[in-house]
A and B are shown apart, each in its own frame.
Chain A
Amino acid sequence: MKARDAYRSQLNNKEKEEMKMLLNSLTTTPRAEKIPAPQMQSATRAKLLAAHNEFQLALVETRLGWMGVAFNAQGLVGLHLPRASRADTLRGLQEEYPNARIAGAAPREISRELKEYADGKRRAFEVPLNLVAVKPFQRAVLEVIQKIPFGQVRTYAWVAREIGKPRAVRAVGHALGANPIPLILPCHRVIGSDGGLHGYGGGLELKARLLRLEGAMI
């Protein structure tokens, strides 16, 4: 609601009476303002839209299933974990990145690295990542888990200690749950202190499958 109307509705009757003239004047004066119509609006609009660093979406078929990627000129923005159905992966991507253009194909290095990983031929990723939208706490968590080597696992508690917040185990779990680029930022290598896998965006079955692929002892 407009602050003007909300304010008026909060006044008691006496205040309403006292303020009546002033409020009327304050309501009618702006209506009589003469502000010239803007003239540069469409030129400005066209210039800005041409400069928009748009996200693009693409699907990558791998041995693990159809993965989805979102990227722009600065790098990979998001990754959707493999699913058996191409359509499901695409739908998931489009829900997360509405309006984003569907590219004919993923940038070559992205699709190559993902395919090689799924084939068990790649242990580390080199594609540039674009993490501009990641909040500082989550960024700290994601930076720490990038250090967990291929084939190894760590616990949520370990991650919490590494970021200097040993009591923030639950928050670490949430930050990993919202990992925008799973697999490449290997949140699947983080498990519970009891040795249980706990959670995974792509399902526990996939988490176990990835760890087996990497040869981690679980």
Chain B
Amino acid sequence: MNLNADRALVRRAQTSATGFGELFDIYYERIYKYAYRRIGARQNAEDIAAIVFEEALRGIQKYRWQNKPIAAWLYKIAARRVADFYRSGARGEVEPVERGDDGIEDKVSESVSMRAGLQRLSEGDQEIIRLTFFDELETEEIAALLDCTANSIYVRLHRALKRLKAIMEQEAK
């Protein structure tokens, strides 16, 4: 990630519609997928993505550059909107994202037990694992999103993974 490029992108997005279009094109799908993984319905996830970018459009000209990846700003808005969605009770049961059939039985069962284990972790542990492995964010993006340092991200991630591993091992017995 290149913060200078991000900064220039923000500037373009502030001054012109085409610049905002660039920002939209780079991040729409990432934000949509983030929402989909947490909500599990295309329509709702797209509604949230649209709301995130509406808010971004309203806020971009007030956005003050703070040497942090712009992705973190968008994910922060998305996190709030996903939380609103849950609070509103609008969701039915969250359908888990359908896992693809990779054709290898062992791997499938391993991934099933990993997902089951994940569900038993605390919200915070689940989220840092999701952000890292599912949303595939960069360290600096997660750090800015969660307002902490890159180093503490590794520490939190390591602890969460150890707990996940312990749960999975216990289940396997």
* Chain A residues close to B by CB (< 8 Å): 1-4, 6-7, 10, 18-19, 21-23, 25-36, 38-41, 44-45, 48-55, 70, 72, 97-101, 132-133, 135
Contacts and interface: CB of A to CB of B under 8 A. Distances in A.
Given A3-B138, A7-B132, A55 B29 contact: no
B49 to A, nearest CB: 7
A6 B141 CA distance: 13
A3 B24 contact: no
Contacts of A31: 100
B90 to A, nearest CB: 18
Contact of A133 (B28, B62, B137): B62
B20 A6 contact: no
Interface in B82-114: 97-102, 107, 110-111, 114
Interface residues of B, number: 62
Contacts of B137: 2-3
Given A1-B139, A39-B42, A98-B15, A22 B64 contact: no
A181 to B, nearest CB: 15
Contacts of A7: 132, 139, 154, 157-158
A100 B32 CA distance: 28
A86 B52 CA distance: 40
24 contacts: A1-B139, A3-B142, A4-B132, A4-B136, A7-B154, A7-B157, A10-B154, A18-B165, A19-B165, A25-B111, A30-B134, A33-B99, A34-B99, A38-B46, A40-B50, A48-B24, A48-B57, A49-B18, A49-B20, A52-B16, A54-B16, A98-B8, A99-B15, A133-B64
A110 B50 CA distance: 36
B118 to A, nearest CB: 9
A8 to B, nearest CB: 10
A38 B32 contact: yes
Nearest to A27: B133
Contacts of B46: 38-41, 44
A60 B157 CA distance: 56
B79 interface: no
B12 A33 contact: no
Given A3-B157, A132-B62, A97 B15 contact: yes
A4 B133 contact: yes
Chain B facing A: main interface SS: helix
A32 B112 CA distance: 12
A33 B97 contact: yes
B99 A25 contact: no
Contact of B168 (A6, A22, A70, A98): A22
Contact of A29 (B42, B54, B114, B142): B114
B102 A51 contact: no
Nearest to A22: B165
Given A1-B139, A38-B46, 16 more contacts: A1-B138, A2-B136, A2-B137, A6-B154, A25-B107, A30-B133, A30-B134, A31-B100, A33-B97, A35-B36, A48-B54, A98-B11, A99-B18, A101-B16, A133-B63, A135-B64
Contacts of A3: 131-132, 137-139, 141-142, 153, 157
A53 B133 CA distance: 37
A33 B14 CA distance: 35
Contacts of A132: 61-62
Contacts of A23: 161
B148 interface: no
B66 to A, nearest CB: 10
Interface in B1-56: 8, 11-12, 14-21, 24-25, 28-29, 32-33, 36-37, 42, 45-46, 49-50, 53-54
